[in-house]
Every structure is written in C-alpha cells, then in structure tokens.
Amino acid sequence: MKTLFAKEVRRFMRVPGQTVLSPLISTTLYFIVFGYSISSRVQEVEGVPYLSFIVPGLIFLGIANNAFLNSSSSLFITKIQGTVVDLLVAPLGAGELMAGFVGGAMVRGLVVGGLTWAVALFFTGFSLQHAWVALYFLLLSSYVFSVLGLLAAVWAEKFEQINFFPTFVMMPLTFLGGVFYSVNALPSPWNTISLFNPMVYMVEGVRYGMVGHSIFSPVLGGGILLGVSVVATGLTYWALHSGYKMKA
C-alpha cells in the first residue's frame, strides 16, 4: 500500500507542468477574467468583496478536478494496458487499493488547492476565518472526489466513458454550484433547483471557513459531504472487492 501510494505521488510529480502548472494558469485566468472584469461592476456579493468571494470556490474547483482526474486516469490506464492484473494478484485488499490510489489523488488535489490559494493571496490577501471548518471541507472534498474518480475508472471501459463524468457531470454541477455567484441571486426556479446540487453546500462550506460567510449552515454542508463520502466509499469498496469490470 505504501509503495502504491508513493507510485501515485511520483506519477503526477513527473509531469508538474500538466498536473500542477496548468491548473494554476487556469486559476490565474479566472481571477483576471472573472475577478477584475466583474468586480469592477459587482463590488460585493452577500457583503463579501467579489474577489474574496470567488477564492474558496476556485480552491474547491482545483481540488475536486485534480483529485478526480488523478485517481480515475491512474486506475483506468492500468485497465487499458492490462497491468491491472499486477494489482489484483498483489497482496492488497480492496481497502488497501483504495488507500493507495485515493491517498495519491488527495495529495495532488490538495497541492493544487494550496497553490491556488497562494495565487489568490496576490489578489485578495490572507483570509481564514474558521480554520478547522475550512480544513474539514477541503480534506473531505479531496477524499470524496478521489473516491469518485476511482469509481468512475472501475466502471469505464472506454476513454469516452472516463471523460463523461468530468465533462457532463462535474463541470456543470461545479459551475452551477455558486463558485462565481450566490445562488440567492438566481431567479426562480433555478435558485430552488440549485438546492439539490451537493456542490453548492461544499463550496459554501469552504467559503464559510475562509471568509466567514455562507448562505447555508456549515453543519448542513458538512453532513451532506460526509454522507456523499460514505456512499462513495461503500460503492467503490464493493466494486474493488468484487472485481467489478476488473477481472476477466
């Protein structure tokens, strides 16, 4: 398990330009395009300066995307290349396989999230109102999307399928999750529909931890995030333990 975890970390560190630098460039562009162009017209959102308002969402976005991509691409490549048999015959249980893949993916997600925050400091300055709340949401978010990436890789049989989740599920839910705006500002019925998007509560939880403001209780968001993690963990453990779409 330790070897698998170390391999996963080394895998993304070998190509830092693709795995770390690219998300940072995207984040900087978000700050420039959304921050400066919109903040000149929208000074505050829910009483928070607009640039400070979007920082938690961008950090969440970087963590979620990179954690998902790392675990999903790593396991899926082993399936396509046929080297997954090496993992299946190794003395590793389903829980240990999860720990190795998920641990490496969490490291990548948190590294990108931390660097995104570092970039944000140049635009907004330091702000961390509730450190333990922010840490809870960031760590658990990285875990959830690492596990979901692993589950997607187990299910997928083609490259089109592995790209389905980030393109048609994660991206719409994230951009409709209140990263760049408050869901309270949406007209009806979209503001009501947004309440069924779990990413809204995740973003708002991170926002509460960092800037001290959220339109929802962080307890509610924390409970939803914990529930998603339990369900995702159970499904992924079952899939790995049973060899679903992995054993010939």
Q: Per-residue confidence at 138, pLDDT binned at 50, 70, 90?
A: very high
Range of 163's domain? 2-242
Q: Per-residue confidence at 81, pLDDT binned at 50, 70, 90?
A: confident
Number of domains composing the chain:
1
pLDDT at 247 over 70: no
For 140-181, how does the pLDDT look when each residue is reduced to its tens digit (9 = 90+)? Answer: 999 999 999 999 999 988 888 888 888 888 888 887 888 878
pTM: 0.90
- The arithmetic mean of pLDDT across residues 233-239, rounded, is 94
CB 24 within 8 A of CB 121: no
Among residues 78, 101, 44, 28, which one has the least CA distance to residue 246? 78
Q: Is residue 53 part of a domain?
A: yes
Q: Is residue 247 part of a domain?
A: no
For 45-59, how does the pLDDT look when each residue is reduced to its tens digit (9 = 90+)? Answer: 777 888 888 889 889
Q: Is residue 179 part of a domain?
A: yes
Specify the pLDDT at position 27: 76
CB 2 within 8 A of CB 44: no
Three-state secondary structure of 7-63: HHHHHHHCCHHHHHHHHHHHHHHHHHHHHHHHHCCCCEECCEEHHHHHHHHHHHHHH
Among residues 248, 245, 234, 225, which one has the least CA distance to residue 94? 234
- The arithmetic mean of pLDDT across residues 221-239, rounded, is 94
Specify the pLDDT at position 42: 67
Q: Is residue 248 part of a domain?
A: no
**Residue partners of 204: CB distance under 8 A and separation at least 6:** 178, 214, 215, 216, 218, 221
Q: Is residue 114 part of a domain?
A: yes
Tell me the residue type at 75. Answer: L
CB 60 within 8 A of CB 202: yes
Specify the pLDDT at position 179: 83
Higher pLDDT, 186 or 58: 58
- Tell me phi and psi for residue 217, to 5 degrees: -65, 130
Report the alpha-carbon distance of residue 234 to residue 239 in Å, rounded: 9
